[in-house]
Amino acid sequence: MAAPVDLTAAPLRRRGAGLLWRTSGTVLAFMPVAMAIAHRSSPLVLGVAAFLALAAVAAERGWAGLRADLLTGLRTPLGRSALTFLAWSVISLLWSEFRGVSLAALLEFWFPVAGALLLSVTLPSRLPRWGVWVLAAALALACAAILLELQTGLALRRTLGMRSHSFIFNRPVLTILVGLVPVLVALRGQGPLGWAAGAVLTALALATAEQSESGAAIFGVAAAGATALGALLAPRLVVRIAGAAVIAALAIAPLAGPIVDRLIPPAVHERLSDSHSRDRIDIWTSFGAAILHRPWLGAGFGTSPHMGESVVAGEVAPERRALLAVGHPHNAAVQIWTELGAVGAVLGAIVILSSLRSLSRFPRRDLAPMLGLMAGVEAVSLVGHGAWQGWWPAAIGAAVVWFRFAQNARKPGDPLRAADSADLRPSHLAEPPQTRPEPMP
């Protein structure tokens, strides 16, 4: 005799999955708030959101579809180039002097990347359109919290016995600015109220960046704004310029210190003294000297924090050794050369150029903000923190997820909504797309 069928199980699973999807999206949306409280927390936030998404997939019994979507993404030129870069990073452990450090750096960087990939192929099409307002509210709350802390001299943190140095807000500010771009894209599809909210949120985020100590944030905003405007006016030209800039930045990285030193006059260094521009050039020069002693393979993934203790340091001229102990080169291109050599630099360039090629297929109204964000990220990475710090790929990964959500959140009357929604839905849920996004002019 056949077992009775429980007719209530499927609706319960669907409701449970829906709750998990909404919870995952809400957790991800509050990443800026979490960063304003704990400035390295974005990988944890991304991990919790990814775990909830996996639970939702399990409730939907969609493992086959998830596997297909992940494989589809990894088989693209961008996916293959990223996997190749990952493979080279792992191989570099063979000659790393600090394998434990290298392994920890690998996990810190690539786990957020994997979580972002999972969320990007599952979450955007499952969230309700009001999710954009949750993200906007979270960004506004994070800005308000940071501004309040800075205006009160971090009195609350001192009272609670927490770290009370104002520079700890540099990472949260960058997280806010990265998240701002996709939320503006989503808000522009919400009518006049969305445009007004976007304007207020932009002003609030820029005020927060201006009040912070992050010179990298201001540099990133300038690069993002100029690139987005250029992409609206001449998208093909800006894509080519962006590709050439990536190649140039990686090509000159071993000599970045001396080259930039010649280009920047002393008067500019005086105006940028709070941003430590002179110190950065000296650091790049020291790491450039280390690169020349390991030009092809590098010293191993993630070894920059211990470069001052390495065998390479003993081969560098004495006047250049001290700054090898600063922790990292403050330039992602220099760090890639230092740790992964010329091979890693070529593979890194292929990853970024593949990203540009992928973006170039979008219509200009979507290409402009995406390319702007990419330019801002690149600008920050060339003057800021260590390349593999987990909070940074987590923040960027969250922005990618929200960009895909913005595509789905457009109003039904938007002529691009149907095409974008069909393209970005997971393959096991989507109907065959009837239209393609308009070609880039």
Asked if the structure places residue 140 within a domain, the reply is yes
φ/ψ (deg, to 5) at 163: -60, 130
pTM of the model: 0.89
Asked if the structure places residue 418 within a domain, the reply is no
Quick one: tokens of 403?
């960009």
Asked if the structure places residue 83 within a domain, the reply is yes
Asked if the structure places residue 6 within a domain, the reply is no
Asked if the structure places residue 109 within a domain, the reply is yes
Asked if the structure places residue 434 within a domain, the reply is no
Asked if the structure places residue 317 within a domain, the reply is yes
| Share of residues in the chain with pLDDT > 70 (%) | 89
pLDDT tens digits along 47-70: 999 999 999 999 887 788 888 989
Asked if the structure places residue 72 within a domain, the reply is yes
Please state at what angle helix 235-251 crosses helix 332-359, rounded to 10 degrees. Answer: 160
pLDDT tens digits along 226-263: 999 999 999 999 999 999 999 999 999 999 999 988 88
Total count of domains within the chain: 1
Residue 437: predicted pLDDT: 39
Q: Which residues of the chain have pLDDT under 50?
A: 1-7, 411-441
d(CA 377, CA 221): 9
Domain interval for residue 106: 17-410
